[in-house]
Every structure is written in C-alpha cells, then in structure tokens.
Amino acid sequence: MPSTPAHKRLAGKFMFKKTFPQGFESDALVELVAHIYTEEEAEVACALSFTPKPAALIARRLKRPVSEIRPILEAMSERLTIIGVKAAGVPLYGFAMLVPGVYEFQMIRSRGEGADLAHYKRFAELFEDLYSEYLAWAQPRTLGKDLRFGRIVAVEKSLERTSGVMPLATDRYSEIVERNKSFCLVNVCACRREQELLGKGCGRGMDVCSGMGMLADLAIEKGLARRVSREEFMEAKTRASSLGLVHMVDNLTDPMQVCSCCTCCCGALRMLKDYNVPTVIVGSHFEAAVDETLCNGCGKCAKTCPMEAITLSGEKKKKKARVNYARCIGCGLCIDKCDKTRALSLKERAGHKPPSKNPVDYYSERVQELMGKDLPFLKMLGLGVGSALYDIAPRKLSGPRYKGKG
C-alpha cells in the first residue's frame, strides 16, 4: 500500500517524535507502517494514547461519530495492531509500541491457523530493513549512555558457583517466578520466527519465551500464549539453558517477562554482539572469572559463549581461557560447561546497578538518559509522586501484589 501523510505521522509516533523531534526517521519504517495499517487506521492509531480509553473519547478526539470509529478500533484490536482491553466490561483501546508490541504480536500470530504467510514474510523483510537502518543510526548516539532497557539473568545453576558475593532475589529467575501468580509460554519466539520467515532461523527453543503477571494474562487472552504452571515455567527455562539460550528480563524488580534469547536471532542480543550497543541491555549482576590454576584449556567455555567473550591464549599445550570483560554479559552458560575442572565461576560485576523498583522510575530513568539532560523540576516531582503512588497501590503489573487470573 502506498504511504500517506497519516502513515508518516504514525511512524513519527512510533519513534516518539514529540519527545525527540530530532529522532530517527526512515522510509523503511513508513513502508512498514503502510504495510500494517490502512490510511484510515493510521489516522485512528495516531489519536490513541498509552492509557487505554473508550471508543467514545477516541471518536471525540477525531471529531467523528463513534459508530464509525468503533469498528475500526475493533478490527485493529483483533489484528493486535493496537491494544484492546476491557475494564468493568467496557472495551478500551490504547496505542501499542512497535517494539515491544506490534512486532512481537505479528510474528507470534504468523504461526496461527490460516496465516497469510506472504503478508507476514513481507512484514519480516521490512522490519529487518528497519532494524539495520535504526541500529546504524543509534550506535553512535548511544555511546556513553546508560540506558538499561533490559537485563540479563544468569542461568540458575551457575549461581551455585559465585565468588565473594551472594546472589540477590532479583538475580534468580526462580525467585522472580516465585513472586508471581500468572505464567505463560508464548506460542513461538517472535525473533526466531522472524528469522525463520527470512530463511535464517536457528529453530532453538521456539516455545520457551515467557511472560508473568499482567503480560501473561494479556498474551493468553489474545491467543498468543498458553497458561502454564510455575513448575512448567521453570522446566522451560531449564530446557532453554540446555539449548544455550540467554535469559533476559525487563530491568525491573518485578519484571513481566523472562525471554530466552540467542545471539543469531534476538534483536536485543544482536545489538550487543553485532552492533556494539552495550548499554541497551545490561549484563547480569555477575561476570565470568577464570582460575588459571584449574583451567585445562579444553575450550568448552569459548564454544558455548554467545558473545564470543572467551578465547584461549598461551602456548599450544598450556592454553588458558581469557575473558573479554567488554563483551561478557554474565549469562552463566560457560559455568555450566566447565563441569570437569570447575575453573570458571561468577564474580560481582564492577559498577553493577540494581533494577528500577517500579515502572514509573524505569520510565523516568530511561527518558532522562536518552534526553541527555535533567528533566524539569515539575516533571520530576510528578514522576516522584507517581512512583510513590505506584508503590502503595494495592495492585501491580507483576509480582506478589498482582491480582491476576493465574
């Protein structure tokens, strides 16, 4: 579909042009938007906010009859190009980000019955073009910024071999899981599905990415995932570890997802490995350490390291493992492989920062770093009040106070 001014406005909304007017622009993004939304749908999507609202309010904003707008909202909600939820039985509609959001919804849906594979394959091609353009643009602009959108959680078994530090509750996905009530496993990993559509998929662990709390309930309701028990959730994480996948969560005390990622398909890990954008996803609380007196130079750790952070060096028969700490993300996969000599362990990462305590703090910290300046006093005051209110609110998005359906 040819792009229109409405598609260009929606592309700008996806890139937060109001907040970052000098931000990223791309023909690939506009073409992707035009592939997903009709011109009329793009107009309606531009009128949505992150807080879901009833059709009547959205129609009023668009100055159109609600009888015209409601079917458009319902159609987009059905295709998961916007967010559709219900509160007290009333349908509400909100804006969905491109990532995480529309991208994942479409790639997971592409495995559904009667899926239009040509449509989804074209989506994957356009998204890959956009991804390459965006990373080339973002790489020099993120240098020196401490963004921390997500964080790595070490393989659970590797935490048995830590030196000089006790793992925190936020370091163990078993404890993160224990604090939740609702769990799901997605029907298919979005990133690995995208690469599969492009003919480059690895096929490892297509069903091990997962959600908790509100995200789990929403994904199940939308047919993107299946509800599982806490035990089945943990079994999937163990299986993912055995496949050499890295566990990544939201950078929150109570995250809503534990993705299990590979560096060949996962967009976030590819940022770290191939584009050297190290602060977008931060390493775990730990990093690998080698005891050279025990290392026999077998190379198992180097072969399993997803970031190619471990190499062997030294004389031919006396090679030892060496860790490049600029690349080590503390995933713990190498620890499990070093089972004979136990020369590898985890040590505390220098400069480690704990995750944000709630979504309001998470938002303010990310925006402040991206803008490269302090937020205005009144804005910071408002966020501070919002953070305090979130902490005392009886309901949460995830964690022990989430009153979900699980």
Residue 316 pLDDT grade (very low, low, confident, very high; cuts 50, 70, 90) = confident
Total domain count, the chain: 1
Mean pLDDT calculated for residue range 23-49? 95
Mean pLDDT calculated for residue range 73-99? 94
151-160, 201-210, 258-267, 276-285: which has the minimum mean pLDDT?
276-285
Selected residue with higher pLDDT from 270 and 71: 71
pLDDT of residue 384: 64
**What's the chain's average pLDDT?**
89
* Structural domain includes residue 39: no
The phi-psi region of residue 88 (left if phi > 0; otherwise alpha if psi is between -120 and 50; otherwise beta) is left
* Structural domain includes residue 138: yes
* Structural domain includes residue 341: no
Spatial separation of the C-alpha atoms in residues 200 and 213, rounded to whole Å:
32
Q: Residue 197: which H helix or E strand, with range?
A: helix 190-197
100's CB contacts (< 8 A; 6+ apart) are: none
Residue 315 pLDDT grade (very low, low, confident, very high; cuts 50, 70, 90) = confident
* Structural domain includes residue 393: yes
* Structural domain includes residue 25: no
Q: Residue 269: which H helix or E strand, with range?
A: helix 267-273
Token pair for 38: 């009709």
* Structural domain includes residue 296: no
pLDDT at 97 over 90: yes
* Structural domain includes residue 300: no
pLDDT of residue 276: 74
pLDDT at 40 over 80: yes
Strands 246-250 and 225-227: unpaired
Residue 398: C-alpha distances to residues 12, 91, 237, 388 (Å): 30, 22, 19, 17
* Structural domain includes residue 132: yes
Residue 399 pLDDT grade (very low, low, confident, very high; cuts 50, 70, 90) = confident
Closest by CA to 102, choosing from 88, 117, 86, 123, is 123
pLDDT at 116 over 70: yes
Angle between helix axes 117-142 and 27-36 (nearest 10 degrees) is 150
pLDDT of residue 118: 92
Q: Residue 365, exposed/middle/buried by CB under 10 A (0-12, 13-18, 19+)?
A: middle
Residue 114 pLDDT grade (very low, low, confident, very high; cuts 50, 70, 90) = low
pTM across the whole model: 0.89
Residue 350 pLDDT grade (very low, low, confident, very high; cuts 50, 70, 90) = confident
pLDDT at 388 over 70: no
pLDDT of residue 376: 63
Q: Using one digit for the tens of pLDDT, what is the confidence trace for 220-234?
A: 999 999 999 999 999
pLDDT at 374 over 80: no
Range of the domain at 398: 99-284+366-406
**CA 147 to the chain's CA centroid:** 13
pLDDT at 390 over 80: no
